Structures are given as structure tokens and as C-alpha cells.
Structure 1
Amino acid sequence: MGDQLDPQDVAQRIEAVLDDMDDGADGADGADAGGARQAGEELVRLLMRFYGAGLEQIVTIARAGGGDAMVHRLASDPLVGGLLALHELHPVDVRTRVEHAMATAKRKLGSHASDAELLGLDPDGTVRVQLSAGGCGAQTVRQVVEESVAAVAPDTAGVAFIEAERGPTLLQIGLRSAR
């Protein structure tokens, strides 16, 4: 983020993009829908960059005034922590946040906690989780893990579940009763 943004310049650029979107919307046949989409994407990029720069300043000011403890307190709020993560400003690395999410999920899952095991975090940001059991409880395990990860690590690319290989089916062998 490092470079300073001029808020006035950003406001003028946003206004220009909005004007471009209005001009594209005036076409009755919708032929310029691609241009409106590009303008919309540019608007999102501008706003993300602007908000990111603002958040970076907030983190800098908080560190100067209250140290890292203040930044960690801010990041512990789900909304603020999510924003900091999306702008790569979160004070806790993504791996640690994902591990925390898995611990939270396991507490929520209780007796099904052993059904999900963190395998790792791919370079693209995908969280890999191994499921040890299928069946009716598997969907609940998936949902709890996905929600827990999304809550503390929205900057990940999602959760990929890998089914554990099943061992051989064991058959019960009993004694025949004598006739």
C-alpha cells in the first residue's frame, strides 16, 4: 500500500468512473454493457485501494498510540479483522488465523471434532481439510469448518475438503450355533 493517495484525486476519479457508467447505461440496446462492467470493476478497484490506504493509516496511528496490543484488539473484532485481512494488514498471519479457526470449529463440533483435520494452506490461499468420516454428519462438519475459516480468514480462497481413504470393510465373524 505504501504510496500516499490524494483523497481529492480519488474522489475525482470515482466521479469520472460513475460518469462513464452513466454514459454506458444510456445506450438503449445494452451494447455497451462491457464498458459499464469495466467501469464498475475500476470503481471497485479504486474504492478498495482508497479504503486500504485509509486502513493502513489507522493501523499506523493505532500502533503509534497504543502499540501492537491496540492493533491486535482492533483485529480481534470480526468486522475490523476482516477488513484488515482483505487489505493484507492483519497483524496475525493467515496460517495462524486458519489454525485458530480449526480449533474453534473443533470446539463447536464436539464429538465430531476428530472428523476434520487441517492439511495445509495452498499458495493460492485454499485451505485444505481432510474429512475422516462421511455420512450424515459430514455436511455439518463442512459447514462449521467453512464458517469458522470465513469468520477469521476471509482473505483465503475457500476450503477444499479431501475425503480420507476408507480402510477395508470389516466383517463380523461369529460362531455357528450347534443344531
Structure 2
Amino acid sequence: MSLNARIGRIESLLERAEPPAVELAQALLDLYGEGLTRIMAAADDDLAARLADDDVVAHLLLLHDLHPIDVRTRVEDELRGTGAEVVSVDGDLVRVRLDDDGGRCSADAARRAVRDAAPEVERIEIVQPLPKVGTGRWTT
């Protein structure tokens, strides 16, 4: 079963669960979060990066706000070479600018890349490309 399928199954079960079961799940989540906090505190940079490279571990680190690589870096790495660039990261909002050559990266592809790199991001804005120098688009 894929990671997304597992997450969906857990969310579905929690929606139907009785309050004591939800409380149990939260207590387990808190306990595992404390364990992961201690692991990440003891990990050197190399180990932390290797842990973050594993999709399942990375998801758990994100869930507990422990991912060692910041949102901007993860998104920039994902967009590298696509013709899209991160303009800003502000809380749960990432702004991305596409290049103006008409096309190595569509807005939909940029949104998917941001979601893949940083699933905790809730809002993605695509901003207008900057005009190229010498295009005659701006005249005075």
C-alpha cells in the first residue's frame, strides 16, 4: 500500500472513530513525536539528511514539525531545472514564478512539484514572470 493510501486510510478511520479511540491515537502520536524529537536531536547532519530522504520517515518528520530541511530549500531543489523558481515562502504560502519562455514548466506542474516537496504547504500562488530585457514589452 502506498504512503498516500495509508494516510488516507488512517484519516478515514479517525473520522469514524469514537472519542476514546481518537484520544488513544493522539496519545500514540504524541509519544512517537517525542521519540522522533529525541532521535533528530541526536542525529548528525548526514543522518538527518538520510532520514529526510526516506518518504515515510520524511512524512513522519513533517507531521511532527521536525523535518531538517526547510520548505524553501526542499521546493527549490524540486523545481531546479524546470524553469520555475521560488519567489517567497511565507508561512503556509509558497509563491512560484514560471519562466517567460512559454514552457518548460506549467503552472500545474509547478504546483505538483511544490506539493511533492512540501506537503505541509497549504497555498501555492503562481506569479507573473518578469519581462525579459530587450523584449520591447516596457516602453517609456
Report the TM range for the smaller structure's normalisation.
0.5 to 0.7
Q: Is 1:149 the counterpart of 2:127 in the alignment?
A: no
* Higher normalized helix content (fraction of residues): 1
Whole-Å separation in 2 of the counterparts to 1:49 and 1:121: 32
How many equivalent pairs are there?
A: 120
Equivalence map 1:107-146=2 (5 Å): 109=82, 113=83, 116-123=84-91, 125-133=92-100, 137=103, 140-146=105-111
Report the TM-score when normalising by structure 2: 0.62
Higher Cα radius of gyration = 1
Alpha-carbon separation, structure 1, partners of 2:123 and 2:62? 14
Equivalent residues of 1:126, 1:159 under 8 A apart? yes
Aligned Cα root-mean-square deviation (Å): 3.5
Identity %: 30
Closer, same or farther: CA 59–117 of 1 in aligned 2, 3 Å: same
**AA aligned opposite 1:51:** L
TM-score if structure 1 supplies the norm length? 0.51
Provide structure 2 residue ranges, at least 5 long, that are not aligned to the other structure: 1-13
Aligned match for 1:158, one of 105, 114, 123? 123
Name the structure 2 match of 1:84: 61
Report the Cα offset of residue 49 of structure 1: 6.3
Deviations 1:133-175 (A, max 9, x none): 486x48x522332222222211112321012366766xxxxxx
Match of 1:58 among 36, 55, 69: 36
Tell me the SS of whatever aligns to 1:91: coil
* Runs (5+) with no aligned partner, structure 1: 1-13, 21-41, 170-179
Q: Does 1:74 align with 2:51?
A: yes
* 4+ residue runs over 4 A deviation: 165-169
Q: 1:71 to 1:46 in 2, by over 3 A?
A: farther
Distance 1:148 1:87 in 2: 22
- Is the CA contact 2:72–2:86 (under 8 Å) kept in the aligned structure 1? no
